[in-house]
């Protein structure tokens, strides 16, 4: 009877030793896809730096443009990446208003429909957590001066209109909203953070936006 423990314990010791020396496999950080226009392209490096080791950031090289274009490239930029989190924005390009006709590049109704489709498809086809970022401000005087020869105009009133549409859609679809406007100071301070074209941001402005996005994404990582 005394022989049984030694027979059983031998293999158990060998197995335990093998398990003890087996190297641990580090889990891959969750993948986060950032989608948006040139504003997103400008703050993406800050997001990547601040979430290093916590998330793998994928920021497609092309400018996302308007909501119709984001929808057109959704498979390429988002679906095939199979991300855990998607942080997206579209809005400024949608609000481009043709000077000759007064028509928006993407109508308000179509913008709303596009946003709903984008969110629905991402959730259905990837299971990712979807986050939406509000469209950043336009400085009307600078934007107009920089686009005197352009066929379109950009106005803050249109940005406000489209942001309200987006906020309504995201509330109905239960999508967390990253309000990038909250990352900026008052009107005077924001003007100092923006470039002469009335749309884009200085290095300090890009840093502020990137820090805001990184913090928001971090709260929603699995």
Question: Residue 95 sits in which domain range?
Answer: 27-218
Burial class (CB in 10 A: 0-12, 13-18, 19+), 194: buried
For residue 19, tell me if it sits in a domain: no
**Global confidence as pTM:** 0.88
For the segment 49-100, what is each residue's pLDDT rounded down to a tens digit?
999 999 999 999 999 999 999 999 999 999 999 999 999 999 999 999 999 9
- Count of domains in the chain? 1
> What is the CATH classification number for the domain harbouring 121?
3.40.50.1110
For the segment 154-195, what is each residue's pLDDT rounded down to a tens digit?
999 999 999 999 999 999 999 999 999 999 999 999 999 999
For residue 60, tell me if it sits in a domain: yes
Could you tell me which residues come within 8 angstroms of residue 57 by beta carbon, excluding any fewer than 6 positions away?
32, 34, 44, 47, 48, 51
Cα angle 87, 183, 144 (rounded to 5 degrees) comes to 90
For residue 179, tell me if it sits in a domain: yes
**Rounded Cα distance, 166 and 172, in Å:** 10
For residue 17, tell me if it sits in a domain: no
């Amino acid at each position: 009877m005394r022989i049984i423990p030694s027979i059983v314990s031998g293999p158990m010791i060998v197995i335990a030793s093998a398990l003890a020396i087996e190297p641990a496999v580090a889990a891959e950080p969750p993948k986060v896809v950032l989608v948006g226009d040139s504003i997103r392209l400008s703050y993406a490096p800050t997001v990547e730096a601040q979430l290093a080791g916590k998330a793998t950031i994928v920021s497609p090289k092309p400018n996302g443009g308007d909501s119709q274009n984001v929808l057109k490239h959704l498979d390429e930029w988002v679906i095939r990446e199979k991300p855990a989190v998607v942080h997206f924005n579209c809005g400024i390009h949608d609000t481009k208003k043709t000077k000759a006709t007064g028509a928006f590049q993407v109508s308000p109704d179509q913008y709303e429909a596009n946003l709903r489709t984008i969110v629905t498809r991402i959730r259905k086809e990837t299971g990712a957590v979807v986050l939406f970022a509000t469209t950043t401000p336009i400085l009307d005087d600078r934007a107009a001066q920089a686009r005197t020869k352009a066929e379109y105009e950009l106005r803050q009133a249109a940005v406000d209109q489209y942001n309200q549409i987006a906020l309504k859609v995201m509330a109905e679809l239960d999508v967390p909203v990253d309000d990038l406007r909250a990352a900026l100071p008052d009107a005077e301070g924001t003007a100092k953070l923006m470039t002469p074209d009335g749309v884009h941001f200085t290095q300090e402005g890009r840093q502020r936006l990137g820090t805001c996005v990184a913090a928001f994404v971090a709260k929603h990582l699995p």
